[in-house]
A and B are shown apart, each in its own frame.
Chain A
Amino acid sequence: MPKVKVPRKSTTVDMTAMTDVAFLLLTFFMLATKFKPDEPVTVDTPSSISETKLPDVDMMMITIDKAPENRIFFGIDGQQKRDSLLNMMAAKYKVTFTAEEHKEFSLLSAFGVPIAQLKQFLALPPTERSKVKQTGIPCDSVNNELGDWIWFSRLVNNKIRVAVKGDQSTSFPVVKQVMNTLQDKKMNKFNFITTLERGAE
């Protein structure tokens, strides 16, 4: 019997379909993505059954670190808004910032240093900033810088809303202090950021 030669089949696979899928997914993720803003501290927010979503724009975010540090961080959205906010703060506290520092500040999503140390903080390259321990924004009755940040943010953007993001273990007096400050600045309506409760009915 003569051997039957099976013709060898090509191993090339048509990649077109796979490419299509890959790029479809890529397009989806590129459009859906919104980069996580770099946070100075990671906080573990408490859970609630509330289903209201956090709006993207016109937000002022007050982050409170976990106990025992309870440091306060502050940030608003919009680069131009940050720029004019710094102008107002600089005028009030008689600190002058260079154009370079203004640019650096407008790129900062959140910070937690007193205004006196802000110049020093902005001078650091962005990669170094996360290594520095930020002391938090002072918010006591003697020196309430947080109040000024809130007040000037309202002047910069009158539609601004406040979101308070605290850690589960943040001590109540600090939260109370922040709430009092907000009330003093006539921000009587604000939001607490929570995560959706798992296994809620």
Chain B
Amino acid sequence: MAAANNTLKSTFWRGFRDSLPFILVLVPFGTLFGVAATAAGLNVVQVMSFSVLVIAGAAQFSALTLLIDNAPTAIILLTSLAVNLRMAMYSAALVPHFGKLRTKLKLIIAYLLVDQSFALSIRNYEENSEQPVEHKVAYFFGCILILAPFWYVSTYLGAALGASIPAVYSLDFAVPVCFIALIAPMLRTLPHIIAAFVSVVAALSFAWIPYNLGLIIAAILAMIAGAYTELKVEAAK
């Protein structure tokens, strides 16, 4: 029993250690979200509600951008939730590992299911597919235990910092610069590059369409372009 507990503990700490490098990614994003949201006029309770209730950086930045642009609420939600649709894939990928857990535990895991905790966990489960489910749970919580609080705290620091920085410093630019930092690593294959290119060209061409619907049209066209290019690339192999 003691030995089993020990290994469970060591699995938890392994997740903890594996997640540490991601702090370097989360802290600048969280801080910049706090800064940009405060510069846009959100109070500290609203800024923190975003980071604590949503915990999804790209969607938070999307919502903030569209709020500044005065898009209708339905369009803001549709666009920002589309950005989060990838998490449905994460949810599906975890079913073989967590499908049989208690509902309460699944609710907590779902809340904490972010890019980093998913990427680390799924790699660990594929490498050690025979490990018992308690170990998989321990590893998952080890990964997220440090990352989630760092996300909250860095957002708070950004909000506190943002309130004290004068407008001369062009903090509105924090939003595009963060998006660029988010998108650049995504452009790893030809279909991704083509999708991004179509997205930019179509969004600029359709910017005249009211209610930011041009962006939604651009996103659909870009997705089709990406998927189509992928099929062509596969066929050429």
A binds B: no
Which A residues lie at the B interface, using CB under 8 A?
none
